[in-house]
């Protein structure tokens, strides 16, 4: 089996920087999907895009207006119309490669989307120094998903280069809309990982510094993202206030009541009313209010407890002020549960190949990740799954100066995946 060539590493870094320049928010990753499609085409890897593999009713938090804007921009930037048509308006891409030799079916999942953050223009910022900073105002790959995508492309290329020595089948899952946990459910429910024996998911940075590899067996929280709107009745605040029904007051009451949802003895819970906008002007009884809320729980049951309480409070606040309310779920993830066997394999690979100074277990990450939907699906169908992190030195994810030292970090992620493939799929 060939080792990873310097040329492949250079290609991977080039991919990452190209993707970094043109970051796209969840459900608008048409350029990134098309970029991946071009590369898979060159490798003779079959693929399905967007609407061809997603379960459309399970799509969460997608704005048709934003999608249409992104399609126009992608077309202007040279993405072929035939490709856009093939997506049916939905981003994401899955590559399929069969070595035609009996062996396991392995899926590896990366995510495609960026974050609504303005990238730093400080001359000392990595992407500014390297001349690959975001070309899109207000959008940035500030979570390293550009790194994930390029690593998975490099792995696909290495697998094709070494197909004679490998067995089994591979699925390269480039998931849309991880931010806001919006895309994972539609990928999982689309069934693309149903026949998978083993699924690997990974993330750059997070709890790990450069030189560390982290393994997660559990710990990401189940979460639900809710948009709430109250619809009241406007009226002149001086001449006939009795005719009005205040959406603002209903929303404010709901916000304070939500903060009073009891903590649960069964495990960790969280709730946050992160945004509340209400009212039209000083002298009008406010007819409209909207809120952005999220809940989290150590298990899906605990998250459900929080969601049910939020819904009850919204409905009863609306009733108290004699107006109507709507609750829309725009994102969700379950908690992480992986398989010991895969975690041990990942640990063994990291240690045996000197891929880290330190291999640690992180089973208490209080964030959320929607690859958990894919992991849950694979395990329900009898497969196994694992999750690892490889470190970088950064000042915090989703921040304008997020940096990843790609030359040092990306090869570690690629080698972890490649060694896993060597361990599981070497032909007899």
The answer to whether the beta carbons of residues 376 and 193 sit under 8 Å apart is no
Stretch that binds Zn ion, among 8-16, 50-58, 137-145, 322-330 (CB under 5 A): 137-145
Q: Is 233 exposed, middle or buried (0-12, 13-18, 19+ CB in 10 A)?
A: middle
Residue 103: alpha-carbon gap to chain centroid: 29
Stretch that binds Zn ion, among 135-143, 155-163, 235-243, 321-329 (CB under 5 A): 135-143
Name the residue nearer to Zn ion (CB basis): 187 or 285. 187
**CB 143 → Zn ion: shortest distance, Å?**
3
**CB 252 → Zn ion: shortest distance, Å?**
33
Name the residue nearer to Zn ion (CB basis): 182 or 245. 182
Number of residues that bind Zn ion (CB under 5 A): 1
Q: Which residue's beta carbon is nearest to the bound Zn ion?
A: 143
Stretch that binds Zn ion, among 143-151, 320-328, 331-339, 400-408 (CB under 5 A): 143-151
Name the residue nearer to Zn ion (CB basis): 114 or 293. 114
Name the residue nearer to Zn ion (CB basis): 142 or 313. 142
Name the residue nearer to Zn ion (CB basis): 143 or 333. 143
**CB 173 → Zn ion: shortest distance, Å?**
15
- By three-state DSSP, how is residue 11 classified? helix
At 157, list the tokens: 């290329």
Strand order in the sheet with 269-278: 269-278, 288-297, 222-231, 324-333
Residues contacting 65, CB < 8 A, separation 6+ = none
Name the residue nearer to Zn ion (CB basis): 313 or 416. 416
- By three-state DSSP, how is residue 227 classified? strand
Question: Rg for the chain (alpha carbons), in Å?
Answer: 23
Name the residue nearer to Zn ion (CB basis): 143 or 216. 143
At 19, list the tokens: 């993707």
The answer to whether the beta carbons of residues 184 and 109 sit under 8 Å apart is no
Tell me phi and psi for residue 232, to 5 degrees.
-105, -155
Binds Zn ion (CB under 5 A): choice among 143, 196, 350, 392? 143
**CB 191 → Zn ion: shortest distance, Å?**
24
**CB 98 → Zn ion: shortest distance, Å?**
30
**CB 76 → Zn ion: shortest distance, Å?**
28
Stretch that binds Zn ion, among 142-150, 343-351, 386-394, 404-412 (CB under 5 A): 142-150
DSSP secondary structure of 387-404: EEEE----S-TTSTT---
Which parts of this chain interact with Zn ion (CB under 5 A)? 143
């Amino acid at each position: 089996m060939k080792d990873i060539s310097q040329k492949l590493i250079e290609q991977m870094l080039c991919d990452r920087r190209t993707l970094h320049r043109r970051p796209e928010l969840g459900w608008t990753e048409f350029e990134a999907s098309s970029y991946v499609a071009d590369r898979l085409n060159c490798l003779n890897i079959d693929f399905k895009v967007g609407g061809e593999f997603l379960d459309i009713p399970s799509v969460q938090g997608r704005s048709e207006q934003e999608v249409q804007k992104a399609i126009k921009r992608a077309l202007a930037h040279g993405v072929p119309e035939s490709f856009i048509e093939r997506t049916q308006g939905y981003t994401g891409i899955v590559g399929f490669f069969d070595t035609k030799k009996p062996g396991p079916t392995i899926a590896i999942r990366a995510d495609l989307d960026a974050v609504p953050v303005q990238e730093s223009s400080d001359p000392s910022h990595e992407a500014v120094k390297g001349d690959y900073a975001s070309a899109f105002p207000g959008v940035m790959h500030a979570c390293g998903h550009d790194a994930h995508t390029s690593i998975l492309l490099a792995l696909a290329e290495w697998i094709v280069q070494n197909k004679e020595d490998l067995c089994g089948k591979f699925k390269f899952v480039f998931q849309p809309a991880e931010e806001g946990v919006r895309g994972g459910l539609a990928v999982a429910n689309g069934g693309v990982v149903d026949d998978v024996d083993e699924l690997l998911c990974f993330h750059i940075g997070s709890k790990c510094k450069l030189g560390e590899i982290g393994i997660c067996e559990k710990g990401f929280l189940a979460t639900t993202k809710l948009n709430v709107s109250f619809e009241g009745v406007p009226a002149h605040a001086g001449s006939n206030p009795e005719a009005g029904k205040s959406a603002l007051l209903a929303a404010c009451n709901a916000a304070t009541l939500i903060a009073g949802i009891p903590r649960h003895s069964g495990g960790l819970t969280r709730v946050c009313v992160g945004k509340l906008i209400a009212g039209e002007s000083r002298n009008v009884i406010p007819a409209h209010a909207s809120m952005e809320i999220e809940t989290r729980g150590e298990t899906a049951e605990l998250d459900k407890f929080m969601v049910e309480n939020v819904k009850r409070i919204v409905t009863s606040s609306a009733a108290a002020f004699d107006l109507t309310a709507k609750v829309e779920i725009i994102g969700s993830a379950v908690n992480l549960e992986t398989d010991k066997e895969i975690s041990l394999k990942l640990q063994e690979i990291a240690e045996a190949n000197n891929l880290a100074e330190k291999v640690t277990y992180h089973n208490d990450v209080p964030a959320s990740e929607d690859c958990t939907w894919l992991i849950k699906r694979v395990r329900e169908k009898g497969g196994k799954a694992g999750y690892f992190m490889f470190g970088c030195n950064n000042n915090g994810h989703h921040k304008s100066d997020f940096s990843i030292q790609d030359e040092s970090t990306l090869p570690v992620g690629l080698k972890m995946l490649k060694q896993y493939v060597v361990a599981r799929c070497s032909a007899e």
